[in-house]
């Protein structure tokens, strides 16, 4: 049964989502090949860095059936020889007639694929919409630093721990499973020395699905902790620079209040994940350690991107207003 371009794009987006967390510094791209008569003949996703790009994976599966067909990709096909050859040329060599892509490639060396394809007689068009799994990578490349998500779990009245310090567990099982699944998509998870000392968290992505990707575990702070399996940097600037240079593009800041405040004060929070539990404490430890400003006008304010119900809890996903 033939697929529409829109349906093919949904398949490509799912393929990209499935490799999110395994491709950095490359983007988690998904690609679908439709034959000349619109049948789905190949699906591909970016392989770990140095491996094949999504289009090449989809073309490989399609073989001869790609000739005269349509490639549907979440990112503009690359136009350069990096660790792998240009996807634009691979599509031309395979005789693909139409290319539909969602996001232009913002990196200077790899961009220009659409123009090159057109110059070689391929019908190329950009699709509207966005690939949520590419968003962190696109932001990271634009800013030349990893995309930062600040994550916390809080009571309805804004506390992350009770006055006796107890913080396990504010949210329920469904929210905790969501946290573990989400960690798997990140390149690094960051905590401050205070949280490392108080909670001694393992920060692993515990799941039963057999996937092995574990994000890098990073501690920020000057107190010398030397935890095995953790990297440590004295401050945010050093951590972000080192993470960027070693290929991290999508990182999660998990605590505590002091580190969260520092990231906000530095204007380095691109997204927020707030897990809200239907509980009230009245007093306790707040999400942030310091006032952001004396007036409402000074509040750190984001755009509400998505609301997800997780059992009795709610996940609010916020994005920077740009």
Task: Select from 53, 100, 183, 186 the one that contacts Zn ion (CB under 5 A).
Answer: 53
Residue 23, CA distances (Å) to 52, 135, 143, 227 in order: 10, 14, 19, 26
Whether 317 is catalytic: no
Of the candidate spans 40-48, 49-57, 129-137, 276-284, the one that interacts with Zn ion by CB under 5 A turns out to be: 49-57
Residue 114: name its binding partner from Zn ion, ligand AOF, none (Cβ under 5 to 8 Å by kind): none
Active-site choice (6, 55, 173, 317)? 55
> Using an 8 Å Cβ cutoff, are 160 and 257 in contact?
yes
End-to-end CA distance of the chain: 42
196 touches, from Zn ion, ligand AOF, none (C-beta below 5 to 8 Å by class): none
C-alpha closest to that of 230 among 202, 205, 199, 207: 202
DSSP string computed for 115-132: HHHHHTT-EEEEPSS--G
The minimum distance between CB 52 and ligand AOF, in angstroms, equals 8
Report strand pairing: 123-126 vs 70-75: unpaired
Closest CA to 320 of 174, 157, 192, 139: 139
Contact between residue 170 and residue 5 where contact means Cβ atoms under 8 Å apart: no
Q: Give the whole-angstrom CA distance, residue 250 versus residue 137.
A: 7
CB 277 within 8 A of CB 168: no
Beta carbon of residue 249, minimum distance to ligand AOF (angstroms, whole number) = 10
User: Smaller CB distance to Zn ion: residue 87 or 179?
Assistant: 87
Q: Cα(91)–Cα(242) distance, rounded to whole angstroms?
A: 36
The residues binding ligand AOF (CB under 6 A) are: 26-27, 29, 46, 53-55, 75, 77-78, 82-84, 87, 105, 107, 110
> Of the two residues 110 and 179, which places its CB atom closer to Zn ion in the complex?
110
Which of 113/256 has CB closer to ligand AOF? 113
Residue 82 binds which entry of Zn ion, ligand AOF, none, CB below 5-8 Å type-dependent:
ligand AOF
What does 67 bind: Zn ion, ligand AOF, none (CB cut-off 5 to 8 Å by kind)?
none
Shortest approach of ligand AOF to residue 135 CB, angstroms? 15
Q: Which of Zn ion, ligand AOF, none sits in contact with 26, Cβ below 5 to 8 A by type?
A: ligand AOF
**Interface pick for Zn ion out of 78, 96, 134, 205 (rule CB under 5 A):** 78
Report the nearest approach of ligand AOF to the CB of residue 102 (Å): 12
Contacts of 194 (CB under 8 A, 6+ apart): 221, 256, 258, 259
For residue 251 the two structure tokens come to 């990182």
- Minimum distance from residue 53 beta carbon to ligand AOF (Å): 3
Degrees, nearest 5: CA angle 119-124-129: 145
| Pick 22 or 167: Cβ nearer ligand AOF | 22
Position 103 contacts Zn ion (CB under 5 A) = no
Q: Which of 20/53 has CB closer to Zn ion?
A: 53
- Select from ligand AOF, Zn ion, none the partner in contact with residue 206, using the beta carbon and a kind-dependent cut-off of 5 to 8 Å: none
Given candidates 43, 87, 134, 260, which one binds Zn ion under the rule CB under 5 A? 87
Measured between alpha carbons, how far is 232 from 215 in angstroms, rounded to an integer? Answer: 14
Q: Which is nearer to Zn ion, 109 or 278 (CB)?
A: 109
Q: State how beta strands 30-34 and 40-45 pair.
A: antiparallel
- Closest separation between CB of residue 246 and ligand AOF, Å? 15
- Dihedrals phi, psi of 23, to nearest 5 degrees: -115, -15
Count of residues interacting with Zn ion (CB under 5 A): 3
Judged by DSSP in three states, 35 sits in coil
What is the maximum span of the chain, computed from C-alpha positions, in angstroms?
69
Binding site for Zn ion (CB under 5 A): 53, 78, 87
Which residues are part of the catalytic machinery? 55
């Amino acid at each position: 049964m033939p697929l529409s371009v829109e349906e093919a794009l949904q398949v490509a987006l799912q393929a990209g989502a499935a490799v999110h967390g395994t491709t950095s510094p490359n983007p988690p791209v998904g690609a679908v090949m439709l034959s000349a008569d619109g049948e789905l003949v190949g699906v591909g996703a970016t392989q770990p860095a140095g491996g094949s790009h999504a289009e090449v994976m989809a073309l490989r599966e399609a073989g001869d059936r790609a000739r005269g067909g349509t490639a549907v990709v979440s990112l503009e096909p690359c136009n350069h020889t990096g660790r792998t050859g240009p996807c634009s040329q691979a599509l031309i060599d395979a005789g693909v007639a139409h290319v539909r892509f969602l996001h232009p490639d913002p990196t200077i060396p790899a961009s220009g694929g659409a123009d090159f394809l057109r110059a070689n007689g391929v019908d190329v068009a950009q699709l509207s919409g966005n690939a949520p799994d590419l968003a962190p990578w696109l932001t990271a490349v634009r800013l030349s630093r990893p995309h930062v998500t600040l994550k916390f779990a809080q009571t309805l009245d804004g506390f992350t721990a009770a006055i006796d310090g107890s913080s396990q567990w504010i949210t329920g099982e469904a929210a905790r499973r969501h946290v573990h699944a989400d960690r798997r998509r990140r390149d690094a998870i960051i905590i401050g020395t205070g949280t490392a000392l108080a909670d001694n968290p393992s920060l692993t992505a515990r799941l039963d699905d057999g996937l092995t990707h574990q994000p890098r575990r990073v501690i920020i702070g000057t107190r010398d902790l030397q935890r095995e399996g953790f990297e440590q940097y004295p401050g945010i600037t050093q951590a972000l620079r080192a993470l960027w240079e070693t290929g991290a593009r999508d990182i999660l800041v998990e605590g505590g209040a002091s580190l969260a405040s520092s990231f906000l004060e530095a204007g380095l929070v691109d997204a927020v994940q707030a897990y809200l539990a239907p509980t009230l404490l009245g007093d306790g430890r707040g999400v942030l350690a310091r006032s952001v400003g004396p007036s409402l006008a000074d509040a750190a304010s984001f755009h509400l991107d998505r609301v997800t119900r997780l059992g009795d809890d709610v996940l609010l996903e916020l994005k920077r207003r740009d």
